[in-house]
Amino acid sequence: MDEKRTVRTSKMLSRVLRHEPERIGITLDEAGWVRVDVLLAALAAKGGRLTRAELDHVVATNNKRRFGYSEDGLSIRANQGHTVAVDLGLAAAEPPAVLFHGTASRSLDAIFRDGLLPMARQDVHLSADTDTAVRVGSRHGRPVVLSVDAAAMAAAGHEFRISANGVWLTAAVPPEYLARPR
């Protein structure tokens, strides 16, 4: 599977496993899982050619580790980023003292007024390192990395969870926990 097809397949899987499962006629369970055989059959019915080996390749090589298999390998789901209602079953976790959020400079006024909000997603996504935050912010224009005082948020009772691919999730980040870029 060449790199171009791998990226295209990853984007398509993100769309159907995070946002529009109905696009190919599948239904995610309450935790976001769908059986692999059901996914592959639905894709084939819509003219999409994808083998289990190709799916395995996309899951294994995705640099953002967006997808994961169930323990028995029979089901697949997106690790986070859903706009459809799912409960990933992630336990609360103690975050590092500081987390980061990458965004575009044009969003700063709204962010410092309203805080970080999940928008169409279920959670705000944060990263443990600035490099990841820069990559995320770059998708939205000139990137700006904000610092989040996660220790203070946790002390104030805000809950954090960590996805299978290392993305930190929280319901929202009020503006008082954000630091402006330097």
Q: What is the pLDDT along the chain (182 residues), one digit of tens a residue?
A: 899 999 999 999 999 999 999 999 999 999 999 999 999 999 999 988 899 999 999 999 988 889 999 999 999 999 999 999 999 999 999 999 999 999 988 889 999 999 999 988 899 999 999 999 998 888 878 889 999 999 999 999 999 999 998 999 999 999 999 998 65
Query: Treating both helix axes as pointing N-terminal to C-terminal, what angle do 3-14 and 52-61 enclose, rounded to 10 degrees?
Result: 90
Q: Do residues 76 and 67 make contact, with C-beta atoms less than 8 angstroms apart?
A: yes
How confident is the model at residue 181, as a pLDDT? 61
142 and 107 in a single domain? The answer is: yes
35 and 104 in a single domain? The answer is: no
Question: Residue 147: which domain range?
Answer: 98-179
31 and 69 in a single domain? The answer is: yes
CATH number at residue 117: 3.20.170.30
Question: HSE-up of 79 (CA within 13 Å, CB side)?
Answer: 20
How confident is the model at residue 182, as a pLDDT? 59
How confident is the model at residue 131, as a pLDDT? 92
Residue 146 has phi, psi (to 5 degrees) of -100, 145
175 and 102 in a single domain? The answer is: yes
Please state, in angstroms and rounded to a whole number, the distance separating the CA atoms of residues 67 and 50: 16
74 and 102 in a single domain? The answer is: no
Q: Do residues 161 and 136 make contact, with C-beta atoms less than 8 angstroms apart?
A: no
**42 located within any domain:** yes
The type of residue at 40 is L
Please state, in angstroms and rounded to a whole number, the distance separating the CA atoms of residues 27 and 50: 18
Nearest partner of 108 among 143, 134, 138, judged by Cα: 143
DSSP one-letter string for 128-165: SSHHHHHHHHHTTSSEEEEEEEHHHHHHTT---EE-TT
102 and 74 in a single domain? The answer is: no
157 and 103 in a single domain? The answer is: yes
CATH number at residue 17: 1.10.10.970
What's the whole-model pTM score?
0.84
Number of domains in the chain: 2
9 and 53 in a single domain? The answer is: yes
